[in-house]
Chains A and B, each alone.
Chain A
Amino acid sequence: MSTPLSPTKKEKRWPSLVVMTLYLLFMVIPIYWLIVLSIKDNTEIMNSFSVLPQEPTLKNYRYILTDYSWYVGYINSSIYVVLNMVISLLLALPAAYAFSRYRFLGDKHVFFWFLTNRMSPGAVYVLPFFQLYSAVGLFDTHWAVAFAHCLFNVPLAIWILEGFMSGVPKEIDETAYIDGYSFPRFFITVFIPLIRSGIGVAAFFCFMFSWVELLIARTLTSTFAKPIAAAMTRTVSATGMDWGALAAAGALTLIPGAVVIWFVRNHIAKGFALGRV
């Protein structure tokens, strides 16, 4: 059977190859351009067009990593992103367990409402957050951004974790209770290991949102907790635009995301299979 089939298979292969290559090319070009810009000199960026840099240099990176006003942005972003991930997961784990294991009044409606929460644009909440956090003295702290991002990340984390938890048979819970486990002990020693990949996926999506979110993060901070994305929007100075430094900062911003994706790449597929990602 393979002999008559193989010629047609070969004929049909090249269109998909072309399409995939083009698609990949379009995906990669912006990233490539960003990296090329980051290792070019400002004069080279402004004066010539070249696919490959003529005089590759790392001075833009050196500048970013040694200038406090730049690298503190990464530190600030990392602090509130990690804070947010921890808060979101600590809140979402018990909530998702409740949604997965118990039926209560309005459970389905609340669960759906969580999703609609994600549909509203962040800009809607900028003013109330700013007003509230200024009033309670949280303005320009890492906590402010971490808390604000919870509005979006907690529902998402609950949604993702609920899917993973519902994949664990309820009988395992019951067996544990019968064996004598108390709820906290069961949850930590038996249940959490079973939904490890779900926790990884939820943490990843919290990270993603919080790391790239700009509007709320910039509004709720001024100097002390200024995120990197905000620092990048303030590079216009009297001397003009520092294109090279901006590109280097952008390239560095990609790295944490890439690292996190590397760790959860296998679990993400599972999340997709559950229809929760």
Chain B
Amino acid sequence: MLELVNVSKVVGGQTHIHPTNLTLERGSLNVLLGPTLAGKTSLLRLMAGLDKPTTGEVRFDGKDVTGVPVQQRNVAMVYQQFINYPSMTVYANIASPLRVSGANSADIDREVRKVAELMRLTPYLDRLPLSLSGGQQQRTALARAIVKKASLVLLDEPLANLDYKLREEMREELPKIFAASGSIFVYATTEPSEALLLGGNTATMHEGRVSQFGKTVAVYRNPRDLVTARTFSDPPINTHSAVKEGKHFVLLEKEAGGKGKPVKITLAVPAHLAGIADGPVTLGLQPHHLSLDEPYAKAPSLKVKTQVSEIAGSESFVHVLFGDKRWVMLEHGVRNIDPGLDIDIYLDTRHLMAFGPDGMALAGQAG
């Protein structure tokens, strides 16, 4: 069990990590999710013992290890850049943590070959890392982390520099490899989809703070605040300032031409948000909960003006304008819609999120 107690890091007057409390259970897979510069790497370095926290304590299995040098910490770490010992062969690279710990050479050989087989590096054991492809280099680094059987394994965006296909493959393999080991895994990533694929627990990070920590799906479904919702959404979550008036959210008020009452565009308050008080709220809806087709009978719809559509493989991002607010919809398949059209889009309001003026979530989601 790894505990961060009130840990913070200040470098040259700049706060990289605000006081943070985090408890990671043995045998768990934990994702640190956040944009670049959110402090993921800083936090990993504090966990590893590469940096000393400015305040607070790092505890491992209840023991304070804050000042213990990294050599005695029994951790393993894999960086985003492919870091291996360039002057050693792949075999020597994988064997290096075992050799340092003084294991006998028969054991080392057996372990290295086992892990090499697992990471499909067997044909390259005699090569130098720099003569291998990026994927093979990173697999070497991962193999070195696995062979050590450390009780804390830190992975800092290990797949970010790999090409798409390899990333997909490794993403599937990694949790399986790690699940068997019983160590604590911490996996930093910028991609919400990666966090969801890996499962386990997720800590969302934003500007040096952990905004929420819990089961990955729970954090995704019920973000505690707007910051978490934004961090955990790619493409970015659609937000809109509205006012709750009884059974409706007033989204827009249009001046009617000439005299007469202004026209209000409203949205019925879904059941799970019925309990919140009247007043200004920020509504949030994930891009895939907006759709061109009716997702269920009598789903509420809104009139929008289409803008550009981007096609990304099997998905399409359709940008639309509601009032002067730009929203993005995630559609399956290739949807190429001409810009400038007035169309109806449907909102799956079962997943609508509402945040108060302070950015905190007002009620949980239904689904």
Question: Residues of B within 8 Å of A, CB-based: how many?
Answer: 24
B87:A193 contact, CB within 8 angstroms: yes
A180:B79 contact, CB within 8 angstroms: no
Question: Which of B96-104, B273-281, B316-324 contacts the other chain?
Answer: B96-104
Residues of B within 8 A of A176 (CB): 85, 96
A180:B100 contact, CB within 8 angstroms: yes
Kindly identify, within residues 55 to 91 of chain B, every residue whose CB is under 8 Å from any CB belonging to chain A: 69-71, 73, 75-77, 79, 81, 83-88
Known contacts A169-B81, A175-B77: A190-B87 contact under CB 8 Å? yes
B79:A171 contact, CB within 8 angstroms: yes
Complex Cα–Cα for A169 and B84 (A): 10
Known contacts A169-B81, A171-B81, A185-B100: A178-B86 contact under CB 8 Å? no
A170-207 CB contact bits vs B (8 Å, 1 = yes)? 01101111111110010000100110000000000000
Interface centre among A174, A175, A181, A190 (most CB of B within 10 A): A175
B85:A177 contact, CB within 8 angstroms: no
B71:A169 contact, CB within 8 angstroms: no
Residues of A within 8 A of B70 (CB): 174, 177-178
A177:B71 contact, CB within 8 angstroms: yes
Among B50, B83, B100, B148, the residue within 8 A (CB) of A181 is B100
Residues of A within 8 A of B75 (CB): 178
A144-182 CB contact bits vs B (8 Å, 1 = yes)? 000000000000000000000000010110111111111
B48 at the interface (CB under 8 A from A): yes
Closest chain A residue to B70 by CB distance?
A: A177
B50:A194 contact, CB within 8 angstroms: no
Known contacts A177-B70, A180-B100: A171-B83 contact under CB 8 Å? yes
Residues of A within 8 A of B141 (CB): 175
A174:B96 contact, CB within 8 angstroms: no
Known contacts A181-B71, A190-B85, A193-B87: A175-B79 contact under CB 8 Å? yes
Among B48, B85, B87, the residue within 8 A (CB) of A178 is B48
Complex Cα–Cα for A190 and B129 (A): 14
Closest chain B residue to A193 by CB distance?
A: B87
Known contacts A177-B71, A178-B70, A178-B75: A194-B100 contact under CB 8 Å? no
B139 at the interface (CB under 8 A from A): no
Among A178, A180, A181, A182, the residue within 8 A (CB) of B77 is A178
Complex Cα–Cα for A177 and B48 (A): 11
Determine how close the nearest CB of chain A comes to the CB of B65; give it in whole angstroms: 14
Number of A-B residue pairs, CB cutoff 8 Å, is 53
Residues of B within 8 A of A171 (CB): 79, 81, 83
Closest chain A residue to B48 by CB distance?
A: A178
Complex Cα–Cα for A190 and B84 (A): 10
A180:B71 contact, CB within 8 angstroms: yes
Residues of B within 8 A of A194 (CB): 86-87
Residues of A within 8 A of B101 (CB): 180
Kindly identify, within residues 62 to 105 of chain A, every residue whose CB is under 8 Å from any CB belonging to chain B: none
Complex Cα–Cα for A129 and B315 (A): 77
Closest chain A residue to B148 by CB distance?
A: A179
Determine how close the nearest CB of chain B comes to the CB of A150; give it in whole angstroms: 29
Closest chain B residue to A192 by CB distance?
A: B87
Determine how close the nearest CB of chain B comes to the CB of A101; give it in whole angstroms: 13
Residues of B within 8 A of A174 (CB): 50, 70, 77
Determine how close the nearest CB of chain B comes to the CB of A50; give it in whole angstroms: 54
Determine how close the nearest CB of chain A comes to the CB of B221; give it in whole angstroms: 35
Complex Cα–Cα for A180 and B96 (A): 9
Complex Cα–Cα for A177 and B70 (A): 6
Kindly identify, within residues 98 to 112 of chain B, every residue whose CB is under 8 Å from any CB belonging to chain A: 100-101
Residues of B within 8 A of A190 (CB): 85, 87-88
Residues of A within 8 A of B100 (CB): 179-181, 185
Complex Cα–Cα for A182 and B100 (A): 9
Complex Cα–Cα for A83 and B78 (A): 42
Known contacts A169-B81, A171-B79: A179-B97 contact under CB 8 Å? yes
Closest chain A residue to B86 by CB distance?
A: A194
Complex Cα–Cα for A172 and B83 (A): 6
Determine how close the nearest CB of chain A comes to the CB of B79; give it in whole angstroms: 5
B144 at the interface (CB under 8 A from A): yes
A178:B81 contact, CB within 8 angstroms: no
Determine how close the nearest CB of chain A comes to the CB of B75; give it in whole angstroms: 6
Residues of A within 8 A of B79 (CB): 171, 175
Complex Cα–Cα for A181 and B73 (A): 12
Determine how close the nearest CB of chain B comes to the CB of A171; give it in whole angstroms: 4
Residues of A within 8 A of B50 (CB): 174, 177-178
Determine how close the nearest CB of chain B comes to the CB of A192; give it in whole angstroms: 9
Complex Cα–Cα for A190 and B86 (A): 9
Known contacts A174-B50, A174-B77: A182-B83 contact under CB 8 Å? no
Known contacts A179-B100, A179-B148, A180-B71: A172-B48 contact under CB 8 Å? no
A172:B71 contact, CB within 8 angstroms: no
16 contacting pairs across A/B (C-beta < 8 A): A172-B83, A172-B85, A174-B70, A175-B141, A175-B144, A178-B71, A178-B75, A178-B76, A178-B77, A179-B96, A180-B100, A181-B71, A182-B71, A185-B100, A190-B87, A194-B87
The 7 A-B residue pairs with the shortest CB-CB distance, nearest first, are A193-B87, A180-B100, A179-B97, A171-B83, A177-B70, A171-B79, A178-B77
Known: A178-B48, A179-B100. 17 other contacts (CB 8 A): A169-B81, A171-B81, A172-B83, A172-B85, A172-B86, A174-B70, A174-B77, A177-B71, A178-B71, A178-B73, A180-B71, A181-B96, A181-B100, A190-B87, A193-B87, A194-B86, A194-B87
